[in-house]
Structure 1
Amino acid sequence: MALFDLPLDEMRGYRSRSVEPADFDRFWAETLAETREHDLDARFEPVRTGLSTLDVFDVTFAGFGGHPVKGWLILPAGATEPLPVVVEYVGYGGGRGLPHTHLLWGSAGFAHFVMDTRGQGAGWGGGGTPDPVGSGSSFPGFMTRGIEDPADYYYRRVFADAVRAVEAARAHPLTDASRTAVTGVSQGGGITIAVSGLVPDLVAVAPDVPFLCDFPRATTITDNRPYREVGDYLRTYRGRTEAVSRTLGYFDGVHFAARGRAPALFSVALEDETCPPSTVFAAFNAYAGPGSSIEVYDFNDHEGGGPYQQAAQLAWLPERLTA
Structure 2
Amino acid sequence: MALFDLDLPALQTYRPELDEPADFDAFWATTLDETRTHDLDLRTTPVDTGMPLVDVLDAEFAGFGGHRIKAWVVRPARAITGDARLPAVVQYIGYNGGRGLPHEALAWPAAGYVALVMDSRGQGSRSGSGGHTPDPVGSGPAAPGYLTRGILDPHDHYVRRLFTDGVRAVEAARAVEGVDPARVAVAGASQGGGIALAVAGLVPDLAGVIADVPFLCHIRRAVDLTDRDPYAEITRYLAVHRGHADDAFRTLSYLDAVTFARRATAPALFSVALRDPVCPPSTVYAAYNSYADLTSGAPTEIDVYRYNEHEGGGGHRFVRQLPWLTGLVGPAATVGRAAGSGA
TM-score (norm 1): 0.99
Query: Does structure 1 residue 36 correspond to structure 2 residue 36?
Result: yes
What is the Cα deviation at residue 172 of structure 1? 1.2
Rounded to whole Å, the distance in 2 between the matches of 1:263 and 1:71 is 25
1:227-276 CA distances to partner (integer Å, 9 max, x unpaired)?
A: 01001000000011100110010000110010010000000000000000
Which among 146, 155, 160 is matched to residue 156 of structure 1? 160
Q: Within 5 A, what are the aligned runs for 1:79-158?
A: 79-80=79-80, 81-124=84-127, 125-158=129-162
What is the Cα deviation at residue 17 of structure 1? 3.2
Q: 2:316 — aligned with what? A: 308
Gaps of 5+ in 2: 332-343
What is the Cα deviation at residue 165 of structure 1? 0.4
Rounded to whole Å, the distance in 2 between the matches of 1:96 and 1:244 is 29
Amino acid at match of 2:301: S
Q: Within 5 A, what are the aligned runs for 1:173-212?
A: 173-212=177-216
- Contact 1:141/1:229, CA 8 A, preserved across alignment: yes
Q: 1:73 — aligned with what? A: 73
Q: 2:341 — aligned with what? A: none
Gaps of 5+ in 1: none
SS of the aligned residue for 2:115 comes to strand
1:148-183 CA distances to partner (integer Å, 9 max, x unpaired)?
A: 000000000001100000001111121110111000
Pairwise CA RMSD: 0.8
Higher-Rg structure is 2
Q: 1:6 — aligned with what? A: 6
Rounded to whole Å, the distance in 2 between the matches of 1:98 and 1:173 is 21
Rounded to whole Å, the distance in 2 between the matches of 1:228 and 1:15 is 24
Query: Does structure 1 residue 20 correspond to structure 2 residue 20?
Result: yes
Out of 14-23 and 226-235, give the one that drifted further: 14-23
Query: Does structure 1 residue 290 correspond to structure 2 residue 298?
Result: yes
Amino acid at match of 2:100: G
SS of the aligned residue for 1:50 comes to coil
Amino acid at match of 1:292: T
Q: 2:47 — aligned with what? A: 47
What is the Cα deviation at residue 16 of structure 1? 2.4
SS of the aligned residue for 1:55 comes to strand
TM-score (norm 2): 0.93
**Over 3 Å off, 4+ runs:** none
Q: Percent identity?
A: 58
What is the Cα deviation at residue 308 of structure 1? 1.4
Alignment coverage as a number of residue pairs: 323
Out of 82-91 and 284-293, give the one that drifted further: 284-293
Q: 2:329 — aligned with what? A: 321
